[in-house]
Amino acid sequence: MSPRLVDDIRLYLAEQRAILDAFPVAAVAAVADALFAAYDRGGTVYALGNGGNAGTIDHACCDFKLHPFVSEDKTRPLPAHIRRLSFVNLCGSPAELTAAVNDLGPENMYAALLEPVVGAGDLVMAYSGSGDSPNVVRALEVAAAAGATTFAMTKGDGGRCRALADICLIVPGSSRFPGQTGRNDNNFHFEDNILSLNHMLVGLLKQRVAASTSAAAADREG
C-alpha cells in the first residue's frame, strides 16, 4: 500500500473533522426553526441545486416526506390526521427543467417553476457551492419577492447567496485534497455536508412531530 495513498485519505478525514469542529451550528438551528415554521403553518418547502447537489436533494426529498411520519420502528405510518410536510424537489423532473431551459434560458430554470406557486409561509432551500449560480440566485430573488423564507447553503465567501438568503450556511474551510482544490476548493466536503445537514433537519423534524403527536394524544386522553 502506497504511503502517499494513506496520507491522502488521512488528509481528507482530517479536513472533515476540522470542518465539523467549526460547523456553523447557529445556522443549522435557524434553518431548523424555519422548517418547523413552514410545517406548522402548512407551507411548502422547495429545494433546488445543480449537478450532484440535485441528486442529494432527491435523497432529501425522500427523507423529508417519509421519515418523520413513520413509527419509530418503521413498521407503520403515523395516523392520517398527522399533517405531512409538503416538500417539492424542483430538480426532480428532467422534462420540466429542460423545457424551462429551452424556453426561458438556464438562469430562469428554477425561477420559472417557483414563481407561479411560491408564497409567504413557504421555505425555499437553495444549494450552490459558489453561491453565484445564476439559476440559484434568480430562484432566491423570486422567493424573496413572494415573501417566502429563504435558505442557502454554500462555501467560500458565500457569493451572492450570502446577501440574498434570510439564512445562509457557509461550510467553513479550504482543502488540499485532490479534486477539490482551485476553483473546486472544498467542494467534496461541501457536498458531504449537504447530506449531513438534511439528515439533521429530518431527525429534528421527526422529533418535533413525535412530541406534538404525543402531546395531542395526552390532551385527548385528559
pLDDT tens sequence across 114-138: 999 999 999 999 999 999 999 999 9
Question: 3-class DSSP state for residue 171?
Answer: strand
Identify the CA nearest to 129 among candidates 188, 199, 61: 188
- Note the pLDDT tens digit of each residue in 188-199: 999 999 999 999
Please give the model's pTM, rounded to 2 decimal places: 0.94
Q: From 3.30.2010.30, 3.40.47.10, 3.40.50.10490, 3.20.20.80, which CATH number describes the 3-221 domain?
A: 3.40.50.10490
Q: Residue 143 carries which side chain, given as an amino acid letter?
A: A
Residue 144's pLDDT is: 98
Domain boundaries, the chain: 3-221
Confidence label for 60 from pLDDT (cuts 50, 70 and 90): very high
Name the pairing type of β-strands 123-127 and 44-48: parallel
The whole-angstrom separation of Cα 119 and Cα 30 is 20
User: What pLDDT, on the 0 to 100 scale, is given for residue 3?
Assistant: 84
Q: How many CB atoms lie within 10 A of CB 54?
A: 17
Buried b (16+ CB within 10 A) or exposed e, 165-194: bbbbbbbbbebebeebeeeebbbbbbbbbb
**Mean pLDDT, rounded, for 84-106:** 96
Could you tell me if 141 and 126 are in contact, meaning their C-beta atoms sit under 8 angstroms apart?
A: no
